[in-house]
Amino acid sequence: MKVAILKSTLSRKNLMALTGLFLCFFLVIHLLGNLQLLLPAERAEGSFNYYSDLLSGNIFIMMISYVLYFSLIAHAVDALVITLKNKKVAAKYVYDDRKQVSKWYSRNMGILGTILLIFLVLHFKDFWYLYKFGAVPVDKEGYKNLYVVVLYAFKSWWYVLLYVCAMLALGYHLLHGFKSAVRTLGLYHPRYASYVQIFGVIYSYAITIGFSVIPVYVHLTQYGLWN
């Protein structure tokens, strides 16, 4: 394949779609793991710490994590390249009412993506970095106690609110992103395209609600009304 083909508008979008869909897949796995935090406190601690240790020690998971880092970086860099080109060629009108015919989140994927990028820096710092390189206490089984790190993080209500807002941004990003990725990859069969669209909406809602419920639940059960 020639380099010119890889640099075409369609190939660049294919990279966005493939990395985006891999991140969509990762979100499912991430959410399923996090759901353990909804268990009763004493069971959640053991289960979650065991799970975290299992993931960090597994060579297969490590390899997948490199694909994940690559996908995140490639998705962001490619988005920047695409946006710069689009900004260069895009039309400017004196009076512009084009917003009437498309969804606001489909036009603002870059802004939503930037919010998510800022959130990810925070998220990596608070959990990923702390778990890998920070001083994390050990639980009674001898595993690093990520559970108390989570409890500590969600102590303040504003941090919980920040998380929920970021998940809302994620939800809108997915609502357009999933559908757009499938279109970009070329699913043109009318019936299956509509099924996949419906799946995308359900998926986006599930991810958003799932990830939002966890910090709220942890905060309320540990520090809030339900304690």
- Contact positions vs other proteins (CB under 8 A): 1, 4-5, 8-14, 82, 85-86, 88-98, 100-103, 106-107, 109, 176, 179-180, 183-188, 190, 193
Q: What are phi and psi of 186, to 5 degrees?
A: 105, 25
The two three-digit tokens of residue 114, written as one number = 């930037």
CB of residue 74 vs other proteins: minimum separation in angstroms?
16
- Eight-class DSSP state of 144: B
CB of residue 202 vs other proteins: minimum separation in angstroms?
19
Contact 200, 178 (CB under 8 A): yes
User: By C-beta, is 14 or 65 nearer to other proteins?
Assistant: 14
CB of residue 67 vs other proteins: minimum separation in angstroms?
20
CB of residue 80 vs other proteins: minimum separation in angstroms?
12
CB of residue 157 vs other proteins: minimum separation in angstroms?
36
User: By C-beta, is 58 or 194 nearer to other proteins?
Assistant: 194
Residues in the chain: 227
Q: What are phi and psi of 96, to 5 degrees?
A: -120, 115
Q: How far apart are CA 29 and CA 22, in angstroms?
A: 11
User: By C-beta, is 110 or 224 nearer to other proteins?
Assistant: 110
User: By C-beta, is 58 or 106 nearer to other proteins?
Assistant: 106
Contact 150, 221 (CB under 8 A): no
List C-alpha distances in Å: 99 to 78, 85, 106.
Answer: 25, 20, 10
User: By C-beta, is 71 or 184 nearer to other proteins?
Assistant: 184
